[in-house]
């Protein structure tokens, strides 16, 4: 039960936003085909971190960008996609080397451990989810796993406009 949560969180330390930005700036600068300046790299790093966070939150593999066939013939898209693939691979490898994990993947791992636990064991006490819309894929999976048990409740907050 709880061992799954410990395992999901024990092997990695959470990367700070500052460290994440620093890693990404160096990766951006190392990508020679687009020739980013330091100023451009600093400005791009936060956006790139947000993109990687969104991909992780929605559990979308960066390789899925290759399947955007509408953009296949656009040379600028191919350049952007090549850069994104490069940056993501380098960033992932750098985090692994440092034994670090980003926030979105840590959340995914922890919630997946809870889902696995719920799949084989009924909760010992009632569980309430309050105010979540399930807008993040892993949260939707977690809510669905909870709804398989009679002692779990979802409370939606609806505001009146």
Whole-model pTM: value is 0.76
Q: Which residues contact 68 (CB under 8 A, 6 or more apart)?
A: 77, 81
Phi-psi region at 85: left, alpha or beta (left = phi > 0; alpha = psi -120 to 50): alpha
Closest of 117, 66, 116, 114 to residue 88, by C-alpha: 66
Q: How far apart are CA 159 and CA 161, in angstroms?
A: 6
Residue-level pLDDT, tens digit, the chain, 161 residues: 445 445 445 567 999 999 999 999 999 999 999 999 999 999 999 999 999 999 998 888 998 887 776 655 677 888 888 999 999 999 999 999 999 999 999 999 999 999 999 988 888 888 888 877 778 889 999 999 998 998 888 887 777 76
Backbone angles phi, psi at 122, to 5 degrees: -70, 140
């Amino acid at each position: 039960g709880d061992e799954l949560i410990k395992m999901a969180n024990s092997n990695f330390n959470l990367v700070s936003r500052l460290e994440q930005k620093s890693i990404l700036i160096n990766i951006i600068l190392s990508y020679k085909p687009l020739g980013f300046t330091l100023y451009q790299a600093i400005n791009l790093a936060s956006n790139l971190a947000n993109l990687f966070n969104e991909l992780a939150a929605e559990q979308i593999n960066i390789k899925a960008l290759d399947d955007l066939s509408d953009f296949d013939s656009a040379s600028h898209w191919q350049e952007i996609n090549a850069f994104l693939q490069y940056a993501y691979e380098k960033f992932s490898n750098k985090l692994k080397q440092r034994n670090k994990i980003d926030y979105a993947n840590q959340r995914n791992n922890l919630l997946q451990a809870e889902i696995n636990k719920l799949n084989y064991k009924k909760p010992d006490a009632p569980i309430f989810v309050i105010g979540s819309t399930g807008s993040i894929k892993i949260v939707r999976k977690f809510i669905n796993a909870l709804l398989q048990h009679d002692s779990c409740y979802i409370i939606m907050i609806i505001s009146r406009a």
